[in-house]
Amino acid sequence: MNDRLIGIDFGLSKVGLSISDPLKIISIPLKVIKYKNRDDLLSRLKEIAIENDVKSFVIGYPLNMNNKKNEMTKLVDDLFEELINLNFNVFLQDERLSSESAKKIMHEQKIKTGKNKEQIDLISSTIILQSFLDKGAFK
């Protein structure tokens, strides 16, 4: 498979998206999309996947630090199933501390995090996808 992958940092009203290079080595920030409801989100993800020749998604999996599931985990499980039903390959990647890592990167670059929530989502999606790519499980 030579298609690229899209990484998703899932949120209740917006998602951060990143995309892999064709060789699946590097994760590149793509965009943040705001959505109204689940159908709107799925439609936009499908459109972006078609535009970028993507057949696979990597979704950040929000487990608690004690490995327990939470409300967001259940929503990601639903998104996982819905993307599978749209004939995409879908993988889950532990996203614990990805937002904290994104904030640290922003602090190092002297970018304020308070007014740049979308930037945090974008960087988080890039971290999630890069973590997945680094495992080499998809090559």
> How far is residue 92's CA from residue 106's CA, in Å, rounded to a whole number?
25
CATH class of the region 4-135: alpha beta
Query: Which of residues 50 and 139 earns the better pLDDT score?
Result: 50
Instruction: Give this prediction's pTM.
Output: 0.84
pLDDT of residue 134: 87
Distances (CA, A) of 108 to 44, 105, 113, 114, 130: 32, 5, 11, 15, 19
Q: What is the CB neighbour count within 10 angstroms for residue 19?
A: 22
Evaluate whether 126 touches 28 at the Cβ level (below 8 Å). Answer: yes
Helix and strand element counts for the chain (H, E): 4, 5
Per residue in 22-60, pLDDT (tens digit) is 999 999 999 999 999 999 999 999 999 999 999 999 999
- Quick check: 26 and 48 in contact, CB under 8 A? no
Percent of the chain exceeding pLDDT 90 equals 60
Going by pLDDT thresholds of 50, 70 and 90, the confidence category of residue 106 is very low
> CA 6, CA 4: separation in Å to the nearest integer?
7
Q: Which tens digit of pLDDT belongs to each residue from 66-92?
A: 777 778 889 999 999 999 999 999 999
